[in-house]
Amino acid sequence: MPEDFAPDWLDLREPFDAYARSEALAATLLVHLPARPRFIDLGAGTGSLLRWLAPRLGRAQAWTLVDSSLEMVEAAFDTIADRADQVGYAVTAPNKRTLLVHAPGGAWRIETLVTDLADAPDSLPLHDADAVVSSALCDLVSRPWLERMAAALRIPFYAALCVDGRERFLPPHPVDARVAAGFRRDQARDKGFDGAALGPRAPAVIAEVFGARGFRVESAPSDWLARGRGPLPHPTLRDTAGRFLSELVLGHAEAAGRQDRRGGGRIGAWMDARLDQVAQGRLSVRIGHRDVLALPPGR
């Protein structure tokens, strides 16, 4: 079973994801879709990709939110309905499995599917889809999983927010390299997808695997940027930057510590120093990501 992520973490990262994703690459995807596109959203969590992409499409559409956690898909319906209400969109629920968001350009029909993502693509209703999309998923999967997906698809595959190995914590700290090395090793452990996770190799492997099957692959940077002081593109990012930075520090320290038991003391000291910098508004972090779009032959 693939790893789960806490809804609170997904909620915290959502605005940083939103401002990181490539608008240009998303626009390329949208122009290759039919009048009323049907999306399969893998590892959908609480539906943040839908909330970002659906308004950009601006017309009637259908989504199947796929996740291994019943808690997540239930939270997705609640969160989508709440956010729709905040912007004045009516919401109806014809049945327990379907949510309709009545947006100005046309209704968004949203359904859910709870299944083990490791079983994809066999477990997916690909016959009823015009694109398979995901966000922050493909660095968790294995190469065999991705090869099975590429073999099964004749429609666009869009993978947003794949880590690419670039990261920088400022100001510098003597233990940065050790933490980064342990963190990268942890990214490559098996995350429940039939083998070692792709981690920062994900963008390159997606391009290789889909390119070998004739897909045209495009990618664009989609870096997270967070800082305690200084300009950020939206008030939401400024308001939550401290908590977001703290979670990044704690996550890096925990992952590095799993892979480097002998360096636990130094990693702990790094964590304490970084958390102090967060409290003082002195820490800034850039985490490199790439969005990747694979378009099938003929598109």
For residue 172, cis peptide bond before it (omega within 30 degrees of 0)? no
CB 103 within 8 A of CB 109: no
pLDDT at 179: 97
Give the whole-angstrom CA distance, residue 79 versus residue 99.
Answer: 11
Give the whole-angstrom CA distance, residue 208 versus residue 201.
Answer: 11
Both tokens assigned to 140: 């968790």
pLDDT at 13: 95
pLDDT at 233: 63
Q: Give me the phi and psi of 289, to 5 degrees please.
A: -135, 165
Least Cα distance to 53 among 145, 122, 134 occurs for 134
Give the whole-angstrom CA distance, residue 224 versus residue 216.
Answer: 26
pLDDT at 232: 65
Least Cα distance to 22 among 289, 229, 295 occurs for 289
In the chain, the domains with their CATH numbers are 7-295 (3.40.50.150)
* pLDDT per residue rounded down to tens, the chain (299 residues): 455 668 889 999 999 999 999 999 999 999 999 999 999 999 999 999 999 999 999 999 999 999 999 888 889 999 999 999 999 999 999 887 899 999 999 999 999 999 999 999 999 999 999 999 999 999 999 999 999 999 999 999 999 999 999 999 999 999 999 999 999 999 999 999 989 999 999 999 999 999 999 999 999 999 999 998 776 666 777 778 999 999 999 999 999 999 998 878 999 999 999 999 999 999 999 999 999 999 999 87
pLDDT at 44: 96
Give the whole-angstrom CA distance, residue 297 versus residue 299.
Answer: 6
Q: What is the CA radius of gyration of the chain?
A: 19
- In sequence order, the 6+-apart residues with CB closer than 8 A to the CB of 298 are none
Secondary structure E strands in 22-89: 38-42, 61-67
For helices 48-57 and 70-86, the axis angle rounded to 10 degrees is 40
Query: 3-state DSSP call for residue 113?
Result: strand
